[in-house]
Amino acid sequence: MEVERIVKANDREYNEKFQYADNRIHTSKYNILTFLPINLFEQFQRVANAYFLFLLILQLIPEISSLTWFTTIVPLVLVITMTAVKDATDDYFRHKSDNQVNNRQSEVIIDSKLQNEKWMNVKVGDIVKLENNQFVAADLLLLSSSEPHGLCYIETAELDGETNLKVRHALSVTSELGADISRLARFDGIVVCEAPNNKLDKFTGVLSWKDSKHSLDNQKIILRGCILRNTSWCFGMVIFAGPDTKLMQNSGKTKFKRTSIDRLMNTLVLWIFGFLVCLGIILAIGNSIWENQVGGQFRTFLFWSEGEKNSVFSGFLTFWSYIIILNTVVPISLYVSVEVIRLGHSYFINWDRKMYYSGKATPAEARTTTLNEELGQIEYIFSDKTGTLTQNIMTFKKCSINGKIYGEVHDDVECKKEITKKKESVDFSVKSQAKRTFQLFDHSLMESIKLGDPQVHEFLRLLALCHTVMSEENNTGQLIYQVQSPDEGALVTAARNFGFIFKSRTPETITIEELGTLVTYQLLAFLDFNNIRKRMSVIVRNPAGQIKLYSKGADTILFEKLHPSNEGLLSLTSDHLSEFAGEGLRTLAIAYRELDDKYFQEWHKMLEDANAAMDKRDERISGLYEEIESDLMLLGATAIEDKLQEGVIETVTSLSLANIKIWILTGDKQETAINIGYACNMLTDDMNDVFVISGNTAVEVREELRKAKENLFGQNRSFSNGHVVSENKQQLELDSVVEETITGDYALVINGHSLAHALESDVKKDLLELACLCKTVVCCRVTPLQKAQVVELVKKHRNAVTLAIGDGANDVSMIKSAHIGIGISGQEGLQAVLASDYSFAQFRYLQRLLLVHGRWSYFRMCKFLCYFFYKNFAFTLVHFWFGFFCGFSAQTVYDQWFITLFNIVYTSLPVLAMGIFDQDVSDQNSMDCPQLYEPGQLNLLFNKRKFFICVAHGIYTSLVLFFIPFGAFYNMVGEDGQHVADYQSFAVTMATSLVIVVSVQIALDTSYWTVINHVFIWGSIATYFSILFAMHSNGIYEVFPNQFPFVGNAWHSLNQKCIWLIILLTTVASVIPVVTFRFLKMHLYPSLSDQIRWWQKAQKKAKPTSRRRPQTRRSSSRRSGYSFAHQEGYGELITSGKNMRVKNPPPTSGLEKTLYNSTSWIENLCKKTTNTVNSFSQDKAVKL
């Protein structure tokens, strides 16, 4: 096992001796050589296939075979071939997608030249060139970039779900290499680093070059799955490739997924085999007794010359003969039919136009055909946030300035109304630098700007000055903003559209255009954002010489810093903020302060001293920030919409009504995750409590969980202190009665570093118990591996069917772990789709997939199985009853051609039609009434109880089928006075009765009639009679005299009226109890689907109106809607000038010195970034 990795740059020969993995990825299961053995091995792991193989071997032994071998081998080969073809097709598409990724092009330095190379041919130690907006091909050590000081910007949404840009920087010694290919080709540094692992936030290593060593950390590494942003080019050295990359290490193993019905059928097959053995033993004992007492007399009567036959050995042979005859209780056609039905359901998903997204021309796709019915049994959904629930688009929606809300649309009577297409948006086209996609429907803000409202101007000026955005002009002269977080982009763009345009910046100045006039402000200080301060401020001097501090941040923090004179405005703005939060908008409070020149000089001197201090430096700086950010004057607040995907709220509401619990698992910040939870109604202000678990140690987490449970249950219920009291697995199985005692709605929010402790064996019981009692669970700052661990925890200990849905590479392990994995065809990358079982383009399609396709698939499969077991018990057990009247000789009741064709021809198509097309209620009613989904979750439609009912029904029918004809034939003569009680006539009568009875039964079972159902059901009866008369004809007897001995029997028997009366009596006796029971049940105890079906019939003549559930929003909320996807350290980058292309920076005066000591900005950024990247280390808790 690899302990450490040694990589030499530009030396493939040196690196090859370590046999590191290349950059090729494999998600496929087979290749040409391994397909047949592995696939056959997998198929014969299915109990039924092994059982049929065993039967086939028995049938090849002539002493015990009462049926020809082809009755088993033909369907067995058919099933195995069909499954193999399906598996091969699935794997072909995996190979195709693998090839698509592996054949992407990248530029690699080979033989001192930059050459195009496929991703799969990139080796460890190669130097790769990346360009802006390109995916990173492997885990790279950053060597140099187009940005000053070797900086580059990356987007890590595929890894951790965060949309804000991260900064990476090269070592100063390698950043000097620049884009000089000859120097890069001569670079021969050796990297010694950690072995491949799945920790996204940690990297340790050392670069040895030119007789010196340089330490490496996570800030020097760019991971596969990231995208290069706002950086023209960069060069990197491959450290980990292919399966060794941190992205692939987090993807988890592909698991062989099987549905709960599959597992139940395996159990039932074993039970049925045990039942057959019992029947075989009874008949074998009967045969031994009969041979002993009666068999000798028969031999004398028949003049057999054989000696005395051993009755025990005869019974032994009879046992195996009956095992062969009775094996049709579970015919192999069952498995063929199951596969065909699943295939049909998959095509229905693929063809569903209501799940087709025209925006990207993307249809829904069932990437597997084996899990459809499990879609109807989901209890838990684990959803990613970024790109799954949201669109990754931030838009400025509203603001409150000086106590007035802008951005709302009012009609004549001042009532809020929904924005419609008829309402004209504000026309920004007159502004040359306005962004065309920006829309606002409230004209009053533009009017206030034109009227020169000083508060409005100051508000927009603040938005244009207080940020970390960088600007540049493209070839057409259009202003392009490089934003570190989408929130800042939305705010600066809004100010730009209203005439306050951020133009450019240097480390000492900010230039903006205010309503057509260029104004340059001196940047005196930048008070950077961090997760504790939850605010950022700039101190600027305007051309008039006034010094002002502009600040924006969380309302909960900023309101404490306000001057007492703001009390009235504070109350009004608080109400506005509550209203914005109630609408699910992300809010920031906006404030400013005018500073006295002398006071600022003194404060700045103290700040310089604090920066130079050796001890308590951070505390002193923080104190000075607190001091100057006081007595602020409130300007107002902003409200940004983190745009949800269309239909998310409706989908979440509908799935909640279906009793499905939705958990959000995201790598994003806690505030952002909570805000989205409120935006899509997973969290509501009506909830009794929202528990936040954010402890940094196992003890703290255990205590927080204990307090939350005490709060939930009240003090009267005692709990263990978190230690495991019993090893019994049932300790983790939660009692449903306990859940029912919980009154009210609760939610749980837990951080990644807390989750790491909570997933430890002695705490996870408490975590699971609390989480499962909450209506909503939000896990933020979680790694891909933790997502999978949460899914596994619920899967294992709740025994519930789980579904995971995501769009990025960080969701792959979760998608693979859940029973059902769904990939969203997102903005970037296809990793989630490639690993998924189903894929579509929008989260809203999940509602239709589960409530319509999932429910129908489960309903159809259960109905199919119930009917199939019924008809085969009815068909097969007749042999058992006949055994008592044929000397237990293993003679079959029916002609063997009937036995062969019964399941393949006579009854296969009607049951397939029911299994593929049947539906109890329409798709619209399935969507409108989510409660219909509950039977699947409770597994009510097919379980062990249902199976025994089907078996009992089949046994009753077999008794009727055998004994009514037997009794009628006992002393019966035909109309011509001749007897009709011969074996062949009896066989034809029973076979005809059986076909008619099972056809009538399926007609009763069918809820939704189509032309296909009619053709298949009545066509099967017609087919039976046509084949019957053909096989009993003279012509076929003359060709195959040994195979078709029943010559003319069908004509003879079915010409008798009494035979038809027997068939009618048998059919009525079989069906009447079922009809009576169903009639009484439907009228006395109707199910929800029964009631809706009646309603459907009543509404059939009148065209039903399609009803959409309104998107429910809360009118107000007293919570903070603060959320700001920003990273600490960018202020320091700006004031240091390290990220600016300035050839001749102007000299700085004493006042214009940068805020920090510029020599240490990289070290500060490293230290601070560690606090904001995912803190997921299992062995060390990082305090956020």
Residues belonging to the active site: 384
The candidate with the shortest Cα–Cα distance to 786, out of 142, 252, 279, 412, is: 252
Cα dihedral 70, 75, 79, 82 sign: positive
Q: What is the largest CA-CA distance in the chain?
A: 133
The candidate with the shortest Cα–Cα distance to 197, out of 1178, 1182, 1180, is: 1178
Distance CA 413, CA 415 (A): 6
Token pair, residue 912, equals 């397939």
Residue pair 114/130 in contact (Cβ under 8 Å)? The answer is: no
Token pair, residue 291, equals 């041979």
The candidate with the shortest Cα–Cα distance to 388, out of 900, 723, 828, 88, is: 828
- What letter represents residue 789's amino acid? Q
Token pair, residue 468, equals 């970390």
The order of strands in the sheet holding 802-806 is 365-366, 838-840, 820-824, 802-806, 380-383, 661-665, 776-780, 746-751, 689-693
Beta partners for 191? 7, 207
Residue pair 635/667 in contact (Cβ under 8 Å)? The answer is: no
Token pair, residue 951, equals 């078996």
Locate tokens 């997998």: which residue? 42
The candidate with the shortest Cα–Cα distance to 170, out of 237, 247, 109, 245, is: 237
248 CB burial (10 A radius; 0-12, 13-18, 19+) = buried
Distance CA 915, CA 343 (A): 11
DSSP calls for 570-603? HHHHHHHHHHHHHTT-EEEEEEEEEE-HHHHHHH
Which H or E run includes 1053? helix 1049-1054
Residue pair 991/906 in contact (Cβ under 8 Å)? The answer is: no
Cα dihedral 979, 984, 986, 989 sign: negative
Cα dihedral 234, 236, 241, 247 sign: negative
If one counts every other C-beta atom within 10 angstroms of the C-beta of residue 270, the result is 13
Distance CA 384, CA 1103 (A): 39
Token pair, residue 434, equals 């306005």
The vertex-351 CA angle with 348 and 357, nearest 5°, equals 130
- What letter represents residue 654's amino acid? S
Distance CA 594, CA 633 (A): 9
Distance CA 1181, CA 1178 (A): 7
How many residues make up the chain in this entry?
A: 1184
Token pair, residue 260, equals 């709960």
Distance CA 877, CA 888 (A): 14
- 1096's CB contacts (< 8 A; 6+ apart) are 921, 922, 925
Locate tokens 């020599």: which residue? 1159
Residue pair 114/229 in contact (Cβ under 8 Å)? The answer is: no
What radius of gyration do the chain's Cα atoms show?
Answer: 38
Helices and strands in the chain, H and E counts? 43, 33
Phi, psi dihedral angles at 663 (to 5 degrees): -110, 135
Residue pair 124/20 in contact (Cβ under 8 Å)? The answer is: yes
Distance CA 1059, CA 989 (A): 7
